[in-house]
Amino acid sequence: MAEFVRLESDPTHPAVAVLRVDRPKMNALNSQVQREIRAAAEQITADDQVRAVVLYGGERIFAAGADIAEMVDMSYADMTAQSGELQRAFTTVAQIPKPVVAAINGYALGGGCELALCADFRVASSAAKLGQPEILLGVIPGAGGTQRLSRLVGPARAKDLVFSGRMVDAAEAANMGLVDRVVDVEESQAAPDEDPVYTAAVQLVARYSDGPAVALRAAKQAIDSGLETDLETGLEIERLHFAGLFATEDQTTGMRSFLEHGPGKATFNGR
């Protein structure tokens, strides 16, 4: 059993899995948490009953970054090995072949921000703070902050955040494209025992939970892989995925339903 990372099903949407980081007080992402995140992501990937995912750190904080106390006395040789494990853990999350949303309360800093960057979407509390403060420690981001961030918001904005180490609030994060939706927690109508950010995140990905799972996986892989290459190669990646979907039951179901009942009426089985 994992100590700091657990997998749950959302009670109202059983096909939505919740990958919950729970290491009080700040969800510091030490090596054990990284291993547990990787194991949880691998389990989600292998589970056909899971159709969408929420990354969640709880109602108070998403994750305040790596565990500095664990790293402070590491040598170059130590970190050469450890950084590879860190990147592999986060890449496993980024490669989950299902829609993934990060539900961000409080701080998402350093490794916490980098974990959020592994999601397809990010929903943040209006009180959230995001950033890559590693430069203030004399280092740079090591789990995707120079790469995923620049691909998401552009190189100039990424350099501003990485060079300065400053935090941005949810409004600025949304303006630069780092966050996709901001939930005003002051105006939220959520019940006292509900987290409006978590609820909004579930609502965002639950819409995909009864979709054609193989096609959604293909779409995610085509977009993510295509961004890493030239247009011609990206188009070939798209073409191969597109053609391959004609071997699925969902393609037959979707097209026949369209002809008989019109768009948006198909019931997919994920095969």
- Helix (H) or strand (E) holding 7, with range, is strand 5-9
Whole-number average pLDDT of the chain: 94
Which amino acid does the sequence have at 55?
L
Please check whether residues 144 and 52 belong to one and the same domain: yes
Is position 63 within any domain? Answer: yes
Q: What is the DSSP string of 158-207?
A: HHHHHHH--EEEHHHHHHHTS-SEEE-TTT----TT--HHHHHHHHHHHT
**pLDDT of 59-102, one tens digit each?**
999 999 888 989 899 999 999 988 989 999 999 999 999 999 99
**pLDDT of 242-265, one tens digit each?**
999 999 999 999 999 999 999 988
Per-residue tokens: 197: 């950010």
Please check whether residues 11 and 108 belong to one and the same domain: yes
> What is the arithmetic mean of pLDDT over 148-170?
97
| pLDDT of 161 | 98
Cβ neighbours, 10 Å, residue 176: 18
Please check whether residues 95 and 23 belong to one and the same domain: yes
Q: Which residue has the tokens 């966050």?
A: 179
Please check whether residues 13 and 97 belong to one and the same domain: yes
Reported pTM: 0.93
3-state secondary structure of 96: coil
In this structure, what are the phi and psi dihedrals at residue 2, rounded to the nearest 5 degrees?
Answer: -70, 145
Is position 43 within any domain? Answer: yes
Beta bridge partners of 169: 129
If phi over 0 gives left and psi between -120 and 50 gives alpha, with beta otherwise, what is residue 224?
A: alpha
Q: How many domains does the chain have?
A: 2
Please check whether residues 10 and 142 belong to one and the same domain: yes
Q: Which of 189, 193, 212 is nearest to 266 (CA)?
A: 212
- CATH number, domain at 141? 3.90.226.10
Please check whether residues 182 and 247 belong to one and the same domain: no
Choose the final residue of a domain: 189, 206, 223: 206
Euclidean distance between CA atoms 169 and 51, whole angstroms: 31
Please check whether residues 57 and 130 belong to one and the same domain: yes
Please check whether residues 137 and 228 belong to one and the same domain: no
Task: Considering the candidates 134, 194, 232, 238, report the single residue annotated as catalytic.
Answer: 134
Is position 165 within any domain? Answer: yes
Is position 77 within any domain? Answer: yes
Is position 82 within any domain? Answer: yes
Residue 134 is among the residues annotated as catalytic for this protein: yes
Is position 136 within any domain? Answer: yes
3-state secondary structure of 266: coil
Euclidean distance between CA atoms 261 and 192, whole angstroms: 42
Please check whether residues 71 and 185 belong to one and the same domain: yes
Q: Which domain holds residue 10?
A: 5-206
Cα 96 → chain centroid: 9
Please check whether residues 179 and 57 belong to one and the same domain: yes
Residue 100 in contact with residue 55, Cβ under 8 Å? yes
pLDDT at 189 over 70: no
Is position 267 within any domain? Answer: no
- CATH number, domain at 248? 1.10.12.10
What pairing do the DSSP bridges indicate for beta strands 16-21 and 5-9? antiparallel
Residue 114 is among the residues annotated as catalytic for this protein: yes
pLDDT at 192 over 70: no
Choose the final residue of a domain: 181, 206, 231: 206
Which amino acid does the sequence have at 112?
G
**Over pLDDT 90: what percentage of the chain?**
89
Please check whether residues 68 and 168 belong to one and the same domain: yes
Please check whether residues 193 and 233 belong to one and the same domain: no
Choose the final residue of a domain: 206, 231, 249: 206
Task: Considering the candidates 114, 194, 232, 249, report the single residue annotated as catalytic.
Answer: 114
**pLDDT of 4-49, one tens digit each?**
999 999 999 999 999 999 999 999 999 999 999 999 999 999 999 9
Is position 98 within any domain? Answer: yes
